[in-house]
Structure 1
Amino acid sequence: MGHENITEFILLGLFSDENVKVACSVLFSLCYVAILSGNLLIFLTIRGSRLGEQPMYLFLNYLSFLDVCFTSTVAPKLITNLLAQQKTISYNSCLAQMFSAHFFGATEIFILVTMAYDHYVAICRPLHYMVIMNRQVCYVLVMVSAMGAFIHSILQVLIIIRLPFCGPNQIDHYFCDVFPLLKLACTDTSMLVIAIITTTGVLSILTFVTLVISYIIILSTLRTRSSEGRHKALSTCGSHITVVFMFFLPLIFIYVPTVDSVSNDKVFALFYTMIASMFNPLIYTLRNTDMKSAMRKVWC
Structure 2
Amino acid sequence: MSDPSTTAAPAGASSDVSTRAAVIQMAAGAMLLSSTSLFVVYAHTAPTVSGFYRMFFGGGMLLVWVALRGRWQRFTVRDLGWALLPAAGFAADLIQWHRSILWVGPGIATLLTNFQVFLMALVGFTFYRERPGRWFVPGMLLAMVGLWLLVGAHWSMFDARHRLGVWLGLGSGVAYTVYLLSFRRALKTHTRLSPAQFLGLMSLLCALMLWLWGSGEGDSFALHGVANWSVLLALGFFGQVLAWLLMVQAMPRLPASLVGLLLLLQPVLAFVLDVILLGRPTMSGDWTGLALALAGILLGALRPGRRAIKA
TM-score, normalisation: structure 1? 0.30
Of structures 1 and 2, the one with the larger relative CO (CA 8 A, separation 6+) is 2
Q: What TM-score, normalized to structure 2? A: 0.30
